[in-house]
Amino acid sequence: MSEIILTIEELDPVELYGEHDAKLNLLREAFPEVTITSRGNYLKISGESKKHTQNAKARLELMVRSLKKYKKLTIQDVQEIVNGENPFASRVVETQNNIILYTREGKPIRAKTANQQKLVDTVEANDIVFAIGPAGTGKTYTAVAMAVKALKNRIVKKIILTRPAVEAGESLGFLPGDLKDKVDPYLRPLYDALDDMMPADKINHFIGNRTIEVAPLAFMRGRTLDNAFIILDEAQNTTIPQLKMFLTRIGPSAQAIITGDMTQIDLPRHQRSGLGYALDALENVKGIGVAHLNSSDVVRHRLVKAIINAFEELDSNEQERREERKAKKKKEDKKS
């Protein structure tokens, strides 16, 4: 028989256990071989096997350390912990120094992971930044927060938010309304981020006087974008000429963030993504920075991370099979 008694200090037991022991019950379900009993600040873990009690203790200690360090512990965090993951491995400690700005409700917006903080640091050190990573990693949201901060601090006079209006399985022509009505759904994620950071009447005022401009990429042609913070979102869906056109619009007092996910290209198969081309071509240009994010930076539902990892693994396996088929065909061609 193995028995471990733990004393929970400097923490509210309800924060650790959850209301009605919801968090503790997740631990109990994950380790049915042990019995976990709570008495206020005391916890007893008992079971037949020392291995099982030690494993349960290790998960519980990670919950305690995380709550002490980050001041919060969600049900989703506990689910990942009991599954053997460490959801805090890439998380940054929240301080006053890493607050980007405040939402319209007064909540701080800050980088939540180490890679998001690298994105913020890269933007502060470069005039043009490429933010590359899968869905849910906070690329667009962080970029919009940086743009709003620059506008509030009067570093720039306007914000320009743009996206290529590329059809992802739907036809733009069949959408109802005029051109603005047809294009707005493609720009909705940018509006959503703005909605978090500014009151609706202020957004409408800024859009009305063109302090904030939200437009499809095609509308950038022929312009010089200066004294502005410019965000090109979903850049993986630009062609090479489109991205070159956008980059050559940037004026001397402007700053730009180009975001994209190279695993979600909706261009026709014969067209190369302008984003991939630009990353290769501009790799060594001073003043241009690149920030990479990955599944560890996902801040959406816990399953999003699992979905991204599953797709990446399948893509990797298919790529290996394609390479094997190519090598086999090459070998057969040599024989013939």
User: Among residues 207, 250, 244, which one has the least CA distance to residue 225?
Assistant: 250
Tens-level pLDDT at each residue, the chain (336 residues)? 888 988 888 888 888 888 888 888 998 998 899 999 888 888 899 988 888 889 888 888 888 888 887 777 888 778 878 877 766 655 665 555 678 998 888 888 888 888 898 999 999 999 999 999 988 888 999 999 999 999 999 999 999 999 887 644 444 454 555 555 655 666 788 888 899 899 989 999 999 999 999 888 888 988 999 999 999 999 999 999 999 999 999 999 999 999 999 988 888 888 899 999 999 999 889 999 999 998 777 765 656 666 767 776 777 677 777 777 777 777 777 766
User: Among residues 65, 63, 84, 62, which one has the least CA distance to residue 21?
Assistant: 63
CA distances from 114 to 110, 147, 149, 241, 261 (A): 11, 20, 20, 33, 19
Assigned token pair, 203: 């957004």
Tell me the three state secondary structure of residue 299: coil
Euclidean distance between CA atoms 116 and 87, whole angstroms: 15
- Mind spelling out the 3-state secondary structure of 263-296? CCCCCCCCCCCHHHHHHHHCCCCCCEEEEECCHH
Is pTM beyond 0.85 here? Answer: no
